[in-house]
């Protein structure tokens, strides 16, 4: 198999598409994409997947285990990819710019996810209802609404939720902290998205535009 790296040969070819690879196991897993078969099933929820490694990653959301820790702050993550993306937040440079608005971010994946807000495309769909969304992580949290599971619990009250982010924001209700502050006025809030929308009030920018008339607005929900 190593020699294939030098020759470029991929002897295992899919009979349904142009996919080719150097391992028979990779071809077997690929064939499942044509049959929609997902042999690996979570024992705690409805999640299913093609690869065993994806099931192993998924199980971390039930245990709240976050083995990948940031060396610069206290954040920890369930996957190496999430940690890699987070470390870029410690770098001020945002080299990925949206060509349709002023949005900028530190990763190509972040830009791709943002681009979906302009197209209204929602590629991640729930197989139990009509819900769809732009991010895999959001879909995972949605699946918990079907099981009723709320793994994140507040230590100060009876509040419980489906995501660590919601729990973190809830804790601000106990502390009164509003970590996101406007640099132009006294506005402060507990969500970065709320701050981003607030900043548009200083620039007069209205990124959401009606395709049938001249109406524009700051929030998608108003459109």
Q: Does 52 lie in the same domain as 21?
A: no
Question: What pTM value is reported for the model?
Answer: 0.39
Range(s) of the domain holding residue 23: 2-35
205 is a domain residue: yes
11 is a domain residue: yes
86 is a domain residue: yes
189 is a domain residue: yes
Q: Does 80 lie in the same domain as 53?
A: yes
| The 3-state secondary structure of the chain, one letter per residue | CHHHHHHCCCCEECCCCCCEECCHHHHHHHHHHHHCCCCEECCCCCCEECCHHHHHHHHHHHHCCCCEECCCCCCEECCHHHHHHHHHHHCCCCCEECCCCCCEECCHHHHHHHHHHHHCCCCEECCCCCCEECCHHHHHHHHHHHHCCCCEECCCCCCEECCHHHHHHHHHHHHCCCCEECCCCCCEECCHHHHHHHHHHHHCCCCEECCCCCCEECCCCCC
131 is a domain residue: no
φ and ψ of 157, to 5 deg: -150, -170
Residue ending a domain, among 90, 110, 129, is: 90
108 is a domain residue: no
Asked whether the beta carbons of 20 and 12 are under 8 A apart, the reply is yes
| CATH number of the domain residue 197 falls in | 3.30.160.60
Contacts of 76 (CB under 8 A, 6+ apart): 66, 67, 68, 69, 70, 83
Q: Does 82 lie in the same domain as 50?
A: yes
96 is a domain residue: no
157 is a domain residue: no
The burial of 45, by beta-carbon neighbours within 10 Å (0-12 exposed, 13-18 middle, 19 or more buried), is given as middle
> How many structural domains comprise the chain?
3
What is the full per-residue pLDDT of the chain (223 aa) written as tens digits? 677 777 788 888 888 888 888 888 888 878 777 777 788 888 877 788 888 888 888 887 777 778 888 888 888 887 787 788 788 777 666 778 888 888 888 778 788 888 888 887 888 888 888 899 888 878 888 888 888 888 888 888 988 888 878 888 888 888 888 888 888 889 998 888 888 888 888 877 788 888 889 888 887 888 8
């Amino acid at each position: 198999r190593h020699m294939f790296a030098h020759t470029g040969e991929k002897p295992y070819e899919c009979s349904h598409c142009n996919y080719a690879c150097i391992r028979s196991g990779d071809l077997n897993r690929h064939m499942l994409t044509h049959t929609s078969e997902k042999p690996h099933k979570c024992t705690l929820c409805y999640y299913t997947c093609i690869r065993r490694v994806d099931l192993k990653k998924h199980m971390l959301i039930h245990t709240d285990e976050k083995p990948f820790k940031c060396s610069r702050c206290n954040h920890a993550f369930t996957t190496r990819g999430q940690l890699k993306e987070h470390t870029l937040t410690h770098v001020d440079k945002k080299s990925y710019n949206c060509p349709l608005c002023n949005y900028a971010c530190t990763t190509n994946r972040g830009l791709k996810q943002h681009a979906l807000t302009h197209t209204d495309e929602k590629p991640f769909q729930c197989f139990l209802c009509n819900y769809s969304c732009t991010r895999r992580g959001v879909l995972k949290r949605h699946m918990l609404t079907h099981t009723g599971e709320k793994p994140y619990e507040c230590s100060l009250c009876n509040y419980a939720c489906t995501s660590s982010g919601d729990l973190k924001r809830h804790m601000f209700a106990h502390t009164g902290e509003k970590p996101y502050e406007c640099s132009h006025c006294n506005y402060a809030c507990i969500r970065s998205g709320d701050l981003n929308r607030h900043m548009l009030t200083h620039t007069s920018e209205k990124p959401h535009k009606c395709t049938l008339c001249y109406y524009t607005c700051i929030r998608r929900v108003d459109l």
